[in-house]
Structure 1
Amino acid sequence: MTARGDRGYSPLAINVPMWREYTRFYHGSRRALISTVLVSVGQSLLVLPIAVLVRYAFDKVITNRDSGLLLLIGASILLVYMRLREELLGKLYTLSRAYYTVVDRSKLHASIVQDSDRLDAMSNALVAQLIPAIVTSVALSIVLTFLNWLLFLVLMGVTPLLFLASARIGKTLQERVRTFYRSFQTFSKGTLFVLQVMDLTRIQSGERFELDRQKKHLEDLQLTSAAMAWLSAALGLFQYTAIISTGIIILIIGGLSVARGSMTLGQLLSFYVAFGLLGTYLQIIGAAVPQVIAGNQSLATLFKVLRTEDEAPYSGRRQIAFQGKVSLESVTFQYKNQPVLHDVSLTLRPGTTLAIVGPNGAGKSTIVNLILGFYRPQHGQLRADGNPYSVLDLADLRRQMGVVMQDPIIFAGTILENITYGDPDLSAERVAEAAHMATADEFIQDLPNGYGTFVGESGVLLSGGQRQRIAIARALARRPRVLILDEPTNHLDRAAVRQVMANLRGIDTPLATLIISHDTDVIGVADIVSRLQEGRIVSSERVAVATAGNQ
């Protein structure tokens, strides 16, 4: 797992491939952006012929200039960072599980949320402010060679009045900003949720479901951002008009100087136009440069995520009507050069419960990850109904499996939302059937709101056993052909496990069940028990099954 272009990143450095990737998000908006920048620069350069500029400043610039350009720029920029954020979220689901075992998820979350926000600010500052302001300031600096220092001091004296007037309009803008940040926090929370439940999403094959849900957050963020942007434009237009108005004071004072003969009329008009605009553009540059520097650094961080090269374990496309037979054939696997499994051969068959028992660290959970296709063995192969994993669509195969991990993932929401995660359209009958088989219906019926009961963050309002039962119900709700229970006795007692297994034996479609445990007492619910020690199968035997009523 590598990222292209890791070397040479600096907040001030210009990385050509990185910026080329950035401009890709302007596809479909480039013409509008280029046009607005050129028009903005062209209008700004009108300061050079002073007489023409004065006419434009009072007759056209105040009423027309800013609003039209901001309309085009704002629409284009919103499209750019919408595309960027959607591509980043999509990229998360293309990275392998191995990537998430080594990456700092909190930093990755900060990169996607905070850095994309800084990049949005940089895009606005660069296109709408910095480029036109720099060109104009260079031109105005030439004119300023002839300025009058006394009028400069007078103009600086009225600047505080402009800030006071702007503060009143700013109160309304603050409310728009708060609304935007609430939407942004929702987006941030949603992105963090994506990272926290990555395994659950893949197990449930809920990638499309999750992407659609997060896209709704993005659309809300776009609307609130647009509302904030338009009010910001109104504030900017007022400030510009106020600057021109205060310039009238300069004209009065300067007019007296012209009457006394200490200035010419041309010098006065030059000062009025050139110096007033230069002060404005210098403020724009001062505000934009830090945003561009921060945005360039954020762009470097996001560029690394987008360009991460992470080869998927499998890339097959064949989809099958899975019957539930999974075979591991002479599988040897190592992780980061550490041997984990050695020449392991196992077969999971429909209608049979296979238990793999062994001490912690023996490699039991690794077998689960291999069956799910999260990793690929260095030697040997896996088959599903006789088909090599290498030719199969593993996302489709996982959709036909039910998995309950050692630490079940329960998210903040209702019991119903947790059971139907990835399959929100499941019928009430399917949900009730799954809850019954998982023996979860017993406590759900006793809750005041039943399936609508809110479970708290990470299911904190439920006991460990209740969380485990909900996770089992979720795995069974899609009627899988394979059920994998990783350490079920961590949160359920042996009697509860036996009851669940007895319920499963009563269903019409034969179910292949795999139980992973360090507890040798699970032997009583298995047809076949394989003992794993130091990554090797040391024994495998068929046993008599104990039913729920024979405990």
Structure 2
Amino acid sequence: MRAEFAWMASYYRGSWNALLAIVSVAVAGALLAPAQPHIVRLIFDHAIPEGHTALLVGLALLLLAVRFAGGALSLLSRHLTLTVTRGVTMEIRRAIIAGLYDQPSEFHDFSAPGRLQKRIVHDTEQLENHMQAVLSVGLPALLGAMTLTLMMASMSWQVTGILLVLAPPLWFTTRLSNTFLKRNLKDFQAQFELFNKGIYFVLRHMDLTRIRAFEDGELDRQTGILARLRESGVRMSRGFEIHNQIQNVATSVIAIVLLVSGGIAIQHGMLKVGDFVALYIAAAMLSGQSIRLASVIPDVFMIRDVVDRLRELPQRSAPALRAGSALPAFKGCIELEGVSFRRGSRPILRRVDLTIRPGRHLAIRGANGAGKSTLVQLVLGLLKPSEGRLTADGVPYDELDLAALRRKIGFVPQRPDFFGGTLLENIIYGRPEATTEDVDDALRKAGIDDFVRSLPNGLETLVGEGGVTISGGQGQRLAIAAALVARPRLLVFDEPTNHLDPMAVTAIIDTLRRESADTAVLTISHASALIGSADAVFDLTAGRLTPAEEASA
């Protein structure tokens, strides 16, 4: 529990003043709670027996004012709690998102997006709700129960002592109920996790299931998951009901014992009627506070479980890949010196030496699995080498602001990624400073300006998620335009002939080199026609990079 508390405290560190205000309001409410029984005692011991109508009305109005004050403090506590918890939730989400950006590409290659999404969205929402319950319900209930217990003891320690004798067995019964409740909650959460994964699988792999004619089998599998979720939900609901009934029984036992012991105390002259009524009201209030306090016990359990899951996610406090701050005027020169990369114990690249110079077109060819994509990710600063070093214009990557470097590199992936939005939004994403002239020039160089002009809505044409509304060739050209819009000093193509013929890509590169002679180009491709236009060709085999024969410029 200590680790979970330390994790939460790290995010609440900037909200100590607000937390102090929440505690202060809770203390004020707790000190106000005994006022109601005391006012009732004055009514029964003085105002009514003495026939003092003015005192009776005054005390009644005072009682009403106390109730209003208690309600106002409750609203204030709720407002402060909402402000604090939502602010902390925002910081946790921001830290996790930032932490994900700090991770190397291999982290995301082996992470399920659906699982990460649930953690960031649902778990943080749960944490916020549970913390609100603890701070706005549990804390005032705990302080209120303490002050009411002290008040009852000051009025009649004998009756209070009898009630305290009942506390251990009632506490043990409640603790046993909480144990079963916690078990049911964890089981339901596990089954809900399976349900969430199942729905994600169904939606994500709909075509795969249909192509393999496994609809009935998959439906049976999901039905089994739903059945287990239903059974777990029933057990959890039943556990909550049993827990509530135990609380009700405990409340009834306390009320009956108080009624009998208080009646005996009155018979023996140990209590006045007003004292007994006040004691009874205080006990009823204490019972209510105890029930409220018990109601947040599941929230405490859930906070611990949710924090355990959130702590597994990377956060900005972890070392970032772009830890450097140097920002040279990058001219397009990148050098790899003895660079090796391992994934676990498996070597991917072995002591690679490569120099990319401004105005030069380098091509790398190799079989699938040779390490070409890994090499590209190293150049982009998305991976860190196991050995060796990379430099940009002579500055080591470890000293660079790699995000700033990537802004000067245009990358065209072999499978372009598009989000639901307009053509313009997809092209200038990450480049908000791009002008209309930049966009038009990039479209022209990519050879897709005529296509865009032919569309009824032009650049405002909507693109479906993943680019489903455009062809592969159009998507490839749009990805090239998106890379060119920032006027990069280095342009990297990763298998650009997947959807375009080599001559089309060659024409684009020739245009770029003619109009931007200082731009460096790095191409990863199998197409001989495309490789043939490069200034130098390298072969990547089993992680080793070797020069091929020089190509004619």
Scaled by the length of structure 2, what TM-score is found?
Answer: 0.69
The secondary structure found in structure 1 opposite 2:469 is coil
Task: Mark the CA change 1:368 to 1:432 in structure 2 (over 3 Å): closer, same or farther.
Answer: same
Residues 183-241 of structure 1, C-alpha deviation per residue, up to 9 Å, x if partnerless?
xxxxxxxxx9xxxxxxxxxxxxxxxxxxxxxxxxxxxxxxxxxxxxxxxxxxxxxxxxx
Paired with 1:58 and 1:273, the residues of 2 have a C-alpha distance of 15
The within-5 A match list for 1:508-527 is 508-527=516-535
Counterpart CA distance in 1 for 2:99 and 2:12 is 18
Give the deviation of 1:493 after TM superposition. 1.8
Q: Confirm or deny that 1:475 pairs with 2:483.
A: yes
Distance of 1:418 and 1:466 partners within structure 2: 13
Aligned AA (1:463): S
CA pair 435-405 structure 1, distance change in 2 beyond 3 A: same
1:451 Cα deviation after fit: 0.4
Q: Can you list the C-alpha shifts for 1:455-499, whole angstroms capped at 9, x where unaligned? A: 011211111222211111111001000000001011212232122
Is 1:318 aligned with 2:307? no
Does 2:134 correspond to 1:101?
no
Equivalent positions of 1:96-495 (< 5 A) are 96-137=104-145, 265-266=273-274, 269-270=277-278, 273-274=281-282, 276-278=284-286, 280-305=288-313, 310-313=318-321, 315-495=323-503
Write the letter of the residue equivalent to 2:22: L
Is residue 59 of structure 2 the alignment partner of residue 70 of structure 1?
no
CA–CA distance in structure 1, aligned partners of residues 471 and 506 of structure 2: 19
CA distance in 2 between counterparts of 1:81 and 1:382 reads 38
- Is the contact between residue 25 and residue 84 of structure 1 (CA under 8 Å) also seen in structure 2? no
Deviation at 1:47, TM superposition (A): 5.5
Match status 1:38 vs 2:27: yes
Summarize the Cα distance change of 1:345–1:501 in structure 2 as closer, same or farther, 3 Å threshold: same
Contact 2:335 2:356 in 1 (8 A): yes
- Cα distance, 1:452 vs. partner? 0.4
Would you say 1:92 and 2:81 are equivalent positions?
no
Retained in 2: the 8 A contact 1:121–1:295? no
Q: For the residues of structure 2 that align with 1:501 and 1:307, how far apart are their CA atoms?
A: 40
Q: 1:344 to 1:87 in 2, by over 3 A?
A: closer
**Residues 1:59 and 2:65 are matched in the alignment:** yes
2:183 match:
none
Shift of residue 355 of structure 1? Answer: 0.9
Residue deviations 1:320-378 (CA, integer Å, cap 9, x gap): 11111222223222221211112222222222211101111111111111111222323
Rate the CA distance shift 1:385–1:455 in 2: closer, same or farther, 3 A: same
Match of 2:6 in 1: 17
Q: CA deviation at 1:417?
A: 0.5
Provide the residue aligned with 2:56 in structure 1.
none
Distance 1:28 1:131, change over 3 A: closer
Contact kept? 2:342, 2:348, Cα under 8 Å: yes
Identity of aligned residues (%): 35
Counterparts of 2:469 and 2:361, CA distance in 1: 32
The normalised TM-score by structure 1 is: 0.69
**What is the match of residue 29 of structure 1?**
18
- Counterpart secondary structure, 1:407: coil
**2 CA distance for matches of 1:307 and 1:527?**
43
Counterpart-to-counterpart distance in 2, 1:52 and 1:83: 49
Instruction: Tell whether the 8 Å contact from 2:525 to 2:531 is kept in structure 1 after alignment.
Output: no
After alignment, is 68-77 or 296-305 more displaced?
Answer: 68-77
Seen in structure 2, the aligned counterparts of structure 1 residues 316 and 67 have a Cα distance that, compared at 3 Å, is: closer
Gapped regions of structure 2 (runs ≥ 5):
44-58, 161-199, 201-258
Q: Say whether the 8 Å CA contact 2:102–2:316 is kept in structure 1.
A: no
Paired with 2:411 and 2:109, the residues of 1 have a C-alpha distance of 19
Structure (1 or 2) with the larger CA radius of gyration:
2
Is the partner of 1:293 in helix, strand or coil? helix
Would the aligned equivalents of 1:37 and 1:127 in 2 still touch at CA under 8 Å? no
Rate the CA distance shift 1:53–1:522 in 2: closer, same or farther, 3 A. farther
How far apart are 1:88 and its partner, in Å?
3.1
Q: RMSD over aligned Cα, in angstroms?
A: 3.2
1:266 alignment partner, SS class: helix
The question of whether the paired residues in 1 share the 8 Å contact of 2:37 and 2:279 is answered with no
Q: For residues 68 and 520 of structure 1, what CA distance do their matches in structure 2 show? A: 72
Paired AA for residue 23 in structure 2: I
**SS of 1:542 mapped into structure 2:** coil
Aligned length in residues: 423
Q: Specify the code of the residue in structure 1 equivalent to 2:422.
A: T
- The 1:69–1:310 alpha-carbon spacing in structure 2 relative to 1, beyond 3 Å, is closer
Cα deviation, residue 50, structure 1: 6.1
Which segment drifts farther, 107-116 or 349-358?
107-116
SS at 1:375 equivalent: coil
**Retained in 2: the 8 A contact 1:36–1:73?**
no
CA contact (8 A) 1:53 1:273 kept: no
**Displacement of 1:43:** 2.3
- Residue 506 of structure 1 aligns to a residue whose secondary structure is helix
| Residues 348 and 512 in structure 1, CA contact (< 8 A), matched pair in contact too | yes
Cα separation, 1, equivalents of 2:366 and 2:75: 71
